[in-house]
Amino acid sequence: MSAVLFESQYNPPIAFFGQLIGADALWLETQEHYRKQTYRNRCLILTAQGVKPLTVPVVDGNRSEKVKTSELEIDYRQNWVHTHWRSIQTAYGGTPYFEYYADYLHDIYVQKPRLLFELNLALLQFYMRCLRLRTPIHFTTEYHAPSPTPTLGSDLLDRRDWLTPKAPDAVGPDSTSALPYAQTFGKDFAPGLSILDLLFMQGPAAGNFLA
């Protein structure tokens, strides 16, 4: 099985973790310049009003695309931690496993990591433990533009910007997402949501829904 290369993502979509099933390693891109309106600082949750984005504000947002994603600072002048946590509580407080994970997740938020990359990594490691994914995590040391040929060895699957909040269910035909599961709101299954949605609904069984 090949290794997979992703950009750092905030509360990544379920499909992110589906790509780790059977992967030899996960490489995280550290040398790229930040890109706005992506999952780098945004996630999608399901609320009573439908799908809602949560966005982490970054320092000097107008110049952020000139900064490496791994060096980008979070803007705590905005009370986004309270806003995000309140939104998560409102959306998922009544789910079967909210109380099971809430304290661990809240602890990550209140630590207030300085860098977006640090926050995303802490959340990623937490979710991987919850899903019992033992995929080793490595970090790139050079930037290589997307290419049809491998960049870090003979078996690298480049998934940078493969997932986008602009079209969360428009992934490639070889994509792996979640098998449909019961969701709190809506009659139809909402694809493309953050791993939060699956974890709070399915708990320790969430890994069984990664297709």
Q: pLDDT of 119-166, one tens digit each?
A: 999 999 999 999 999 999 999 999 999 865 555 555 899 999 999 998
Read off the tokens for 114: 């300085």
Residues sharing a CB contact under 8 Å with residue 2, sequence separation 6 or more, in sequence order: 23, 24, 155, 156, 157
Residues sharing a CB contact under 8 Å with residue 156, sequence separation 6 or more, in sequence order: 2, 3, 4, 5, 27, 150
Cβ count within 10 A of residue 119: 22
Task: Report yes or no on whether pTM surpasses 0.75.
Answer: yes
Q: What is the pLDDT of residue 82?
A: 97
Tens digits of residue pLDDT in 44-98: 999 999 999 999 999 987 888 899 999 999 999 999 999 999 999 999 999 999 9
Q: What is the pLDDT of residue 153?
A: 52
Read off the tokens for 179: 């098998």
User: What's the mean pLDDT in 22-29?
Assistant: 96
Q: What is the pLDDT of residue 45?
A: 97
Buried b (16+ CB within 10 A) or exposed e, 18-32: bbbeebebbbbbbeb
* Angle subtended at Cα 149 by Cα 14 and Cα 193, rounded to the nearest 5 degrees: 10
Rounded distance between C-alpha atoms, residue 81 and residue 89, angstroms: 12
The domain tally of the chain equals: 1
Bridge partners of residue 55, in order along the sequence: 42
Q: Is 134 exposed, middle or buried (0-12, 13-18, 19+ CB in 10 A)?
A: exposed
33: containing domain? 3-209
